């Protein structure tokens, strides 16, 4: 009797770039993606669990229609994953990924539209969006006497392993202490580049910034001595800084589009972007967060035909998801923007090199 390849119990994690790349690399028939918004809680609520089970029922119905060789085993795998996450903490959303050889569960710090995708690849667009909206970041907590380093993913802050932090000034003059902190910070950032948030009294942070060589990706500062503050006090202050940083990144992306238009290096609309991503050298894809598009592909894969029958096996549920993956694989980057920001561009635009 056919069976699923043995797999360990699904991990429940926050999204990471490596995990997104892993999921994007999977090609299988079928790849099942189940995404649902949830209520942040120490354990999944009954309401969220019922909604997740309804989505799994929908996935099972689509499996029966698509005719994979072992739909009952895939359904059992989905049920097993749901049983596991029912006992776990939840964020703002959850994504379940099941194929004959893989099971993965991701908690998301941003809500998503509830949906089921059964295709030859996983639906990772919401994971990419979560990385964009809640990027992994490094937080340096400074005082005249001590420096601590923590790494943030969504609302989770924890010290990274194998660093020289925390550092204490002991009897060293302040400037000498800050130089030592900057050297240790530089060592970490060279191996783990990420936006940086500085937290500390204005005098100490200002002095550090004047001599630091590692603030090129400074997202912002929190002017308060919170070196010994609990995570619950840090998270809201850091979130404000990151939200302002992300707003500035959206403005930069739109300005970049305008500069590239003057050089005739922008294509707009899903059809043109799809073809250009495959045939040109993609640089930056700007896409509205809520934009989705179901379509059939031409035999050569270059052209799209809009489709309403999303559940048909020949239909790609969301070619925007596939477009994002193509741009990333070909060395470009993604800029998610607010709905309406690209209304005059068909909701998606691509710059080419």
**Domain spanning 265-352, CATH architecture:** 2-Layer Sandwich (3.30)
Looking only at Cα atoms, what is the longest distance across the chain?
72
Instruction: With cut-offs at 50, 70 and 90, classify the pLDDT of residue 55.
Output: very high
pLDDT at 247: 82
pLDDT at 68: 61
d(CA 215, CA 142): 14
Instruction: With cut-offs at 50, 70 and 90, classify the pLDDT of residue 4.
Output: very low
d(CA 71, CA 64): 6
- Pick the closest to residue 200 from 179, 172, 229 (CA basis): 229
Q: Is the pLDDT of residue 176 over 80?
A: yes
Strand pairing category for 167-168 and 156-158: unpaired
Per the document, the length of the chain is: 353
Mean pLDDT of 307-321: 83
pLDDT at 12: 63
Instruction: Quote the pTM value.
Output: 0.71
Domain boundaries, given as residue ranges, for the chain: 12-133, 137-245, 265-352
| Fold of domain 12-133 | 3.30.960
What pLDDT digit, counting tens, does each position of 78-92 carry?
A: 999 999 999 998 989
d(CA 276, CA 348): 12
67: CB partners within 8 A, 6+ apart:
none
pLDDT at 133: 75
What DSSP character marks residue 186?
H
In this structure, which CATH number among 3.40.50.2300, 3.30.530.20, 3.30.420.60, 1.10.3720.10 belongs to the domain 137-245? 3.30.420.60
- Pick the closest to residue 73 from 106, 34, 101 (CA basis): 101
d(CA 262, CA 47): 51
Share of the chain above pLDDT 90, in %: 55
């Amino acid at each position: 009797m056919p069976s699923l390849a043995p797999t360990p119990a699904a991990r429940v994690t926050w999204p990471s770039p490596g995990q997104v790349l892993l999921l994007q690399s999977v090609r299988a028939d079928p790849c099942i993606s189940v995404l649902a918004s949830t209520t942040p809680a120490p354990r999944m609520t009954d309401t969220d669990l019922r909604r997740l089970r309804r989505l799994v029922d929908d996935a099972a119905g689509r499996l029966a229609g698509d005719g994979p060789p072992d739909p009952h085993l895939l359904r059992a795998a989905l049920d097993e994953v749901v049983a596991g996450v029912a006992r776990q903490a939840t964020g703002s959303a959850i994504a379940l990924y099941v194929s004959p050889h893989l099971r993965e569960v991701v908690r998301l710090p941003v809500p998503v539209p509830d949906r089921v995708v059964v295709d030859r690849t996983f639906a990772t667009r919401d994971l990419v969006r979560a990385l964009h909206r809640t990027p992994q970041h490094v937080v340096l907590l400074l005082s005249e006497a001590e420096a601590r380093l923590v790494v943030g993913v969504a609302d989770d802050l924890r010290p990274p392993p194998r660093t020289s932090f925390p550092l204490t000034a002991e009897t060293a003059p302040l400037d000498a202490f800050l130089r030592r902190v900057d050297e240790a910070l530089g060592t970490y950032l060279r191996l783990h580049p990420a936006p940086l948030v500085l937290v500390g009294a204005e005098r100490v942070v200002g002095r550090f910034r004047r001599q630091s060589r590692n603030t090129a990706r400074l997202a912002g500062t929190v002017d308060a001595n919170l070196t010994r503050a609990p995570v619950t006090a840090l998270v809201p202050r850091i979130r404000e800084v990151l939200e302002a940083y992300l707003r500035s990144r959206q403005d930069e992306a739109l300005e970049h589009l305008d500069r590239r238009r003057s050089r005739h290096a922008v294509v707009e609309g899903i059809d043109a972007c799809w073809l250009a991503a495959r045939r040109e050298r993609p640089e930056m894809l700007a896409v509205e967060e809520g934009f989705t598009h179901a379509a059939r592909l031409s035999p050569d894969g270059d052209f799209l035909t809009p489709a309403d029958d999303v559940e048909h096996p020949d239909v790609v549920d969301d070619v925007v998801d596939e477009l994002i993956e193509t741009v990333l694989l070909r060395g470009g980057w993604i800029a998610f923007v607010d709905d309406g920001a690209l209304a005059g561009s068909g909701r998606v635009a691509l710059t080419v090199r």
